[in-house]
Amino acid sequence: MHILLITTPLFASLASAGIFDSIQSVVKTDDPAKALASWSYTECGHANDPITLHSVSVSPDPPVPGSPLSVNISFTANEPILTGAYIDVVVKVGYIKILQKEVDLCEEGGVLKDTGISCPVEKGDHVLRKEVDLPKEIPPAKFTVNAKGYTVLDEDMFCVDVFADFLTNVGRVGL
Tell me, yes or no, whether 170 lies in a domain.
Answer: no
Residues near 47 by beta carbon (within 8 Å), at least 6 away in sequence = none
Name the 3-class secondary structure at 26: helix
CATH number at residue 27: 2.60.40.770
Instruction: Give the total number of structural domains in the chain.
Output: 1
Q: Which of 3-12, 144-153, 164-173 has the lowest mean pLDDT?
A: 3-12
The pLDDT tens digits for 17-41 are 444 443 433 333 444 433 445 788 8
In this predicted structure, the answer to whether residue 123 has a pLDDT above a threshold of 80 is yes
Average pLDDT of every residue of the chain: 78
Distance, in Å, from the CA atom of 166 to the CA atom of 143, rounded to the nearest integer, reads 8
Residues 50-92 have pLDDT tens digits of 999 999 888 888 888 888 989 898 999 999 999 999 999 999 9
> What is the model's pLDDT at position 165?
85
Specify if 40 maps to a domain: yes
Q: Is residue 124 part of a domain?
A: yes
153, part of any domain: yes
pTM over 0.75: no
Asked if residue 172 belongs to a domain, the reply is no
Q: CB count, 10 Å around CB of 106? A: 20
Boundaries of domain holding 59? 3-165
Q: Is 96 a member of any domain?
A: yes
